[in-house]
Each structure stands twice: as C-alpha cells, then as structure tokens.
Amino acid sequence: MPTASNGSVSLYYDRDGEGDPIVFVSAAGLGGWSWGWQHAALAGPAEVVVWDLRGTGRSDTPPGPYSLETLVDDLEAVLADCEIRKAHLVGCGLGGAIALRAARDSSRVETLTLFGTAASGDAYDLEPLFAPPTDREALRESLSAGLSADFLEAQSDVLEGIVDWRADGDADREGWAAQVAALEEFDAGDWLVEVTQPTRVIHGSEDQLVAPSAGQTLARGLPRGEYIELEGAGHLCFIERSRTVNDRLVGWLEPAADE
C-alpha cells in the first residue's frame, strides 16, 4: 500500500497510468472513491494520483482540528513521494481550497480544476453531506445533499455502490470535523491574484453546499479563471456528469499548460 509521510502522519495514495500527472484532492470527509469515475477514464492518457486526506479512509487520523496549511503540506508530501515536479490539481470543496492554497504556495502546480469551490470558508455548508460510515441509511439519505434529485432517481443502482464505498472509505465524525475546521479561517480574497495558473471553476447549478454564485465570484477573482456551470447537477457534479467532465479534463489539461 503506497503511503507518503508528513511527520508522523501516514497518507495513503493510489497511483496509476503514465503521462502528465493529475492529482485529485477530495471533498471533506469523502474518500478517494469519489474520483473513481475520473480515475478509470484518465489513468492511461495521464498519470492519476488519488489520496485520502488525513482523517479519511486509509490515511491516519491524528487529533484535530487541522489547518489548511497542514493539509497543503500533506499534498506536498504526496507529490514529493510520487516525485511529481508539476501536476494538474483537481479538487472539490475543501479539496478545492487546498488546491488553491497549494497553487499559491507551491511551484508544483500546473493548472487547477475546482468543483464546488468558494474563496472563503463562510460560503461552505458541508454538514448535510456528512454521515457516519457505520450508518448505511444515513449515508444513502445524505447523498441528496451532494447529488441532484434527477440523478438520485435515475441512478438508484449506482447509489448502492456509492453507499458501499462511503461505508468503506469515508471519514468518521472526528475526522470530518477536523478537516472542516481548516475552512473556518479560510479567506483567499486578498491573495487570489497570486494564483496565476489557468483555473477552471466548475459548479453544478443545483449545488446545495456551495452556491454557484460563490464559484462565479471565485472565477472572477482569479487572473486566469474561467467559470463553467453544469445545468441541473449538484455539488458532486463530477460524478453526475462524469463523461462531460472527463472529456473536458482530457481536452483542457495539455492546452492549458501551454497558455
């Protein structure tokens, strides 16, 4: 099982494929399973790295609260362990905030793709998506906060698989709360102009956890930001519209690096 270390904390990651590295940073409390649709499609044309944030899945859960700086250092540890000099970062929610801060502080970031991400912590309302991994019914019900009603109705078979993955890989209450604490003081408003990498801000129009207007504000504040809205999709729009998202990732990453 590949792991990176940040001090005494062990961080599990999965690495597959060859080509330009794409590193995925998960939403608060969600295990690396959440990027499974992208992993399956992109590993091959790209080198894909998916990791569990501290407090989640197979990574260690030291006592919280965690700071955003600590989570960025964890990402740096994963990149260093994989010997990745430059990476395309893809994040959602808290993962998007981590990716943003890493883009400001690290020379390893080539481009950013941010789902359901805002520039300040007060724009996030992540509690509705949390459920204890031991409570399958709560895991199933809480998906209504992350996925659109249309998707929930049409993809009932997929939902059972998601519940299985959540039960196996999501954070418990302690880990989730420690992660979410990193957003309490998060405010990128004063330093967004320092994030000069090409950045796509992608939002589902039905996102209940981070309002689309917050994504629009984020994109406007970035020197090379672009806002894209996926009509009818929820916070986890990269699951709902995986084919569209994967096609755009493949089509965007190399051209963006040359801009």
Strands of the chain, DSSP E: 3-6, 9-16, 20-25, 46-51, 87-92, 109-115, 199-204, 225-230
pLDDT reported for residue 239? 97
pLDDT reported for residue 180? 98
Q: Which of 233, 236, 238, 234 lies closest to 249, judged by CA?
A: 238
pLDDT reported for residue 252? 67
Q: What residues have CB less than 8 Å from 20, skipping those under 6 apart?
A: 46, 47, 88, 110, 253, 254, 257
Cα–chain center distance at 141? 21
pLDDT in tens, 127-147: 999 999 999 999 999 999 999
Q: What are phi and psi of 126, to 5 degrees?
A: -95, -10
Q: What residues have CB less than 8 Å from 155, skipping those under 6 apart?
A: none
The DSSP bridge partners found for residue 111 are: 88
Whole-prediction pTM value?
A: 0.95
pLDDT reported for residue 248? 87
Q: Which of 52, 56, 54, 94 lies closest to 182, judged by CA?
A: 94
Q: Collapse the DSSP code of 107 into the 3-class scheme (helix H, G, I; strand E, B; otherwise coil) and give the result.
A: coil
Alpha-carbon gap, residue 183 to 37, rounded angstroms = 26
Contact 75, 83 (CB under 8 A): no
Q: Collapse the DSSP code of 210 into the 3-class scheme (helix H, G, I; strand E, B; otherwise coil) and give the result.
A: strand
pLDDT reported for residue 253? 63
Sorted by where each starts, the structural domains of the chain and their CATH numbers stand as: 3-124+173-253 (3.40.50.1820)
pLDDT reported for residue 191? 96
Q: Collapse the DSSP code of 22 into the 3-class scheme (helix H, G, I; strand E, B; otherwise coil) and give the result.
A: strand
pLDDT reported for residue 255? 54
Averaged over successive runs of 10 residues, the pLDDT of the chain (259 residues) comes to 94 94 97 95 92 96 97 98 96 98 95 97 97 97 96 92 96 97 95 96 98 98 97 97 92 56
